[in-house]
Structure 1
Amino acid sequence: MNFKKTSIGDVCIIGDGAHARIQRVANGIPYLTSKNFNKDGINLKQVEYITEKDYEKHFRENSKALTKPKDGDLIFSIIGSIGGAHLYSSTDNFGLSSSVAIIRPDNYEVSSSYLLYYFKSSYLQKWVENIKSGSAQGFLSLQMIKRLPLTLPPLAIQQKIASILSSYDELIENNKQRIKLLEEMAEEIYKEWFVRLRFPGYEKATIVDGLPEGWEKAQLKNHISIFRGKSYSSEELRDDGGLPMLNLKNINRGGGFRRDGLKYFEGKFSENNVANTGDIILAVTDMTQNRELVGRVARVPEMNIPKFIFSMDLVKIVPVSLPQIFLYSFFRYSGIGLKLAEFANGANVLHLTPSLINLEKAILPNFELATKFEQLIIPFLEEIDLLENKNQLLQETRDLLLPRLISGKLSVEHLVQEELGMVAEERATYNKV
């Protein structure tokens, strides 16, 4: 089947957000800039706000220019984090800066959901990257967006393509919700036992010097060893090959592991620079002054990778006299990360001196209770690793299908029943959890 070749501007109206300087306030209507976009869409963790009065002034329904998105519009970052796309829905309510484009498709020719996946495809992203690399300021103008190529199957085929791809996204989102629930359960158990001190048998525990018998308040240096990461040059990084290198991008804001941040390294290193599955890594650098990374930890998950190198922006924390999972949970859930973050300093880039970690005092349980906690939590972490690996496979499969479906190289007809069966099976599994 031959698909129509056209351009975005031929079948879409293009606009962007407010060009005026709008005062930010502590609370109000969310106001998004390109900083709120990533490859998955929008991120509202660090959103700014404007007053409702300013929102109504700058984002009017009857404006001649397209500045206010509506249900079915695509919004797309065009400065800085170029390429992040989100399909606006009736439940969304936010203003946009001029660093965000609004793309309103002609619904008689273009499915909004298909357009979203088209913008996420490697085919269009390569065009965007080529334009971005040729722009001195690294941005896409509205005229550039209008000239972007668009491959259009018949509308019914567009809808089928979007349905197939969205089935993968639904499974991925279900798994993310399961992961979130497991993480919340692990955190709640840790806080119940070791913060609120309602551990098994607490009613009969003997209190000695304000602590349950067998517990202690001690400096961390008595219980951990700290290993610094590898200092490297850009010449030692590789696009392909080499050893996977854990770095600052592998730490989520607030803690936890981020899988898509790996770099690849080829060069000399010592065994002290090596990390393995289950190891604890802690960020000692933060590229911003927000202190959301520095002092935070992640556990290296099961990724079917024999070993990693970790960078100088991280340290590895190895237990000496405590179970590893308990130690990870202590650094993740006790609040010590917030405290360590305050010790970091630097005018532009924040740095935490690793030796300060050793000097911190902590209230620690006896080994028997810490081990009992670990045995309870291990199945949670194993299930999280399993779901994360499953999501990675789903994402890779979806991303391989995406360009082939959009180009017409792969027919949608024989895929539809297969995908519906897969979704039904996964939903059944999800409902049992």
Structure 2
Amino acid sequence: MKNRLTTTALADVCSLVTDGTHDTPKRVEEGFPLVKAKEIVGGTIDFETCDQISEPDHRKVIARSKPEQFDTLFAHIGASLGEAALVRTKREFSIKNVALFKPDPKKIDGRYLYYLVVSPQFQALAKGTKTGSAQPFLGLGQLRVHQIQYHADLPTQRRIAGILSAYDELIENNLRRIRILEEMAQSLYREWFVHFRIPPEVLTQAGLPPKLTLTNSPLGPIPDGWEVKTVEDALKRFPAGKKYSQKTVDETGAIPVLDQGKSGIIGYHNDEPGFVATEDNPVIVFANHTCYQRIIQYPFSAIQNVLPFRSAPDLARNLYWLHWATKDLIEFNDYKGHWPEFIAKNLLVPPTEICSAFGVFAEKIVRSVYSLERRNQTLRQTRDLLLPKLLSPRQGIK
């Protein structure tokens, strides 16, 4: 096996190093995904939250930069600088303000190139650029001439990529399971609380008539005994804790710090947690500006615009119901506002017994999701420990 590393510029192993559009194509209801830096999360591309653009706009963008399977996307501007994803899909999409590394198949395996980009050596370039910069940016010129060390032997590259990809495939499989579980909970919520199709046995067990009767309300016809409240009435917001930023956290602490993106954690610290949450007593967090919401089941701190809350004591409704009820206002009404607009929304509040019955199902789903997330964390940690060893000249593949 050839273990010696070759040093060269990134552009020397790529057929193209470019980036996506810098314009803002008009959004459409159905079209082609426009991937931006915020949709590159944990090595994957989040197509579910992408804007959609028309086919003519898409064709204009891909004339400059067409992502294809086994290309690498790299966020080269802003807070997400350094985030990368391997294009695993064959679906067509466009990119905006994201760099595209297209590997030369005669020189480098596409998966191997991706692992070079997420390696500590390459990421040091991004971290160095972020330091002290209000709007960090790596130009295409800088990226093209950036020196990388790699195994020039293609079979060696493929074996290394195969080992590391096995971990990522397990992670991706778990992510698919998470998405299915979350869709199940969302579908059940809408079946019960939007379409009012609650099984008669659930109503009977709750001590209610087995059939709902509808009456008029500000939200239209609703079941008897259900109330219309504002979101603010239904929740108890916790006072803000100590504020953290990217500059005040590292990778070695014990307490995670949540940010506004789907990736969730920007770093760790060793202070007391700002908020105490457990699997038995979780907390909902709402990310202002990005309007991303999740359930947290571990002690954490947060940046200023991540706002934790639980159910209001005087309403005493199930936390899992509250999560999907308020999340439904965001996702299904195309809500893009901030916290003041969020808590002013009208919320349909069912009787306590029905919310609790939903919580029995939803809690099992949330716990399963958390278990899968912890597995993924372990898989990522193992992969990240292996990665620099396999990319070194003394890696042990035979």
Alignment TM-score, normalising by the size of structure 1: 0.70
- Residue 122 (structure 1) aligned to one of 105, 120, 127: 120
Q: Give yes or no for contact 1:127–1:148 (8 Å, CA) kept in 2.
A: no
Q: Give yes or no for contact 1:16–1:101 (8 Å, CA) kept in 2.
A: yes
Q: How many residues align?
A: 375
SS state of the match for residue 6, structure 1? strand
Aligned mates of 2:293, 2:82 — CA distance in 1: 29
Q: Which residue is equivalent to 2:158?
A: 159
Aligned mates of 1:336, 1:137 — CA distance in 2: 30
Moved more, 312-321 or 132-141: 132-141
**Root mean square deviation, CA, Å:** 4.1
Q: Deviations over 1:202-242 (max 9, x none)?
A: 68326375554543445566654332222537699443677
Gaps of 5+ in 1: 61-66, 253-257, 287-291, 345-349, 414-433
Residues 26-37 of structure 1: pairs in structure 2 closer than 5 A = 26=27, 37=40
- Residue 205 (structure 1) aligned to one of 186, 192, 211: 211
Q: Give yes or no for contact 1:36–1:46 (8 Å, CA) kept in 2.
A: yes
- Residue 389 (structure 1) aligned to one of 350, 374, 386: 374
Is 2:114 aligned against 1:111? Answer: no
Gaps of 5+ in 2: 204-208, 217-221
Q: Which residue is equivalent to 1:405?
A: 390
Q: Which residue is equivalent to 1:430?
A: none
Q: Cα–Cα, structure 1 residues 237 and 182, in superposed 2: closer, same or farther, change >3 Å?
A: same
Aligned mates of 2:368, 2:160 — CA distance in 1: 31
Is 2:300 aligned against 1:308? Answer: yes
Is 2:55 aligned against 1:55? Answer: no
Q: Which residue is equivalent to 2:271?
A: 266
Q: Cα–Cα, structure 1 residues 239 and 215, in superposed 2: closer, same or farther, change >3 Å?
A: same
For residue 110 of structure 1, report the CA deviation from its aligned partner: 2.0
Q: Which residue is equivalent to 1:4?
A: 5
Q: Give yes or no for contact 2:258–2:303 (8 Å, CA) kept in 1.
A: yes
For residue 372 of structure 1, report the CA deviation from its aligned partner: 1.8
SS state of the match for residue 311, structure 2? strand
Q: Which residue is equivalent to 1:172?
A: 171
Residues 236-247 of structure 1: pairs in structure 2 closer than 5 A = 237-239=248-250, 244=255, 246-247=257-258
Instruction: Give the fraction of aligned pairs with identical amino acids, expressed as a percent.
Output: 25
Q: Give yes or no for contact 1:30–1:50 (8 Å, CA) kept in 2.
A: no
SS state of the match for residue 297, structure 1? strand
For residue 9 of structure 1, report the CA deviation from its aligned partner: 4.1
Alignment TM-score, normalising by the size of structure 2: 0.75
For residue 407 of structure 1, report the CA deviation from its aligned partner: 0.7
Aligned mates of 2:25, 2:112 — CA distance in 1: 34
Q: Cα–Cα, structure 1 residues 238 and 266, in superposed 2: closer, same or farther, change >3 Å?
A: farther
Q: Which residue is equivalent to 1:228?
A: 239
Residues 333-372 of structure 1: pairs in structure 2 closer than 5 A = 333=328, 335=329, 350=338, 352=340, 357=343, 361-372=346-357
**AA in 1 matched with 2:182:** E
Q: Give yes or no for contact 1:245–1:265 (8 Å, CA) kept in 2.
A: no
Q: Give yes or no for contact 2:18–2:140 (8 Å, CA) kept in 1.
A: no
Aligned mates of 1:158, 1:34 — CA distance in 2: 27
Aligned mates of 1:132, 1:110 — CA distance in 2: 28
**AA in 1 matched with 2:193:** F
For residue 179 of structure 1, report the CA deviation from its aligned partner: 0.8
Q: Deviations over 1:103-128 (max 9, x none)?
A: 432x3332222111111111221144
Aligned mates of 2:128, 2:238 — CA distance in 1: 41
Q: Give yes or no for contact 2:19–2:97 (8 Å, CA) kept in 1.
A: yes
For residue 168 of structure 1, report the CA deviation from its aligned partner: 0.9
Q: Which residue is equivalent to 2:90?
A: 91
SS state of the match for residue 228, structure 1? coil
Q: Deviations over 1:13-70 (max 9, x none)?
A: 4442478x7683445666666666455254543446466488369828xxxxxx6566
SS state of the match for residue 389, structure 1? helix
Q: Deviations over 1:396-429 (max 9, x none)?
A: 111111111111444134xxxxxxxxxxxxxxxx
Q: Which residue is equivalent to 1:419?
A: none
Q: Which residue is equivalent to 2:282?
A: 279
- Residue 328 (structure 1) aligned to one of 320, 323, 326: 323
Q: Larger radius of gyration, structure 1 or 2?
A: 1
SS state of the match for residue 362, structure 2? helix
Aligned mates of 1:182, 1:208 — CA distance in 2: 30
**AA in 2 matched with 1:55:** R
SS state of the match for residue 298, structure 1? strand
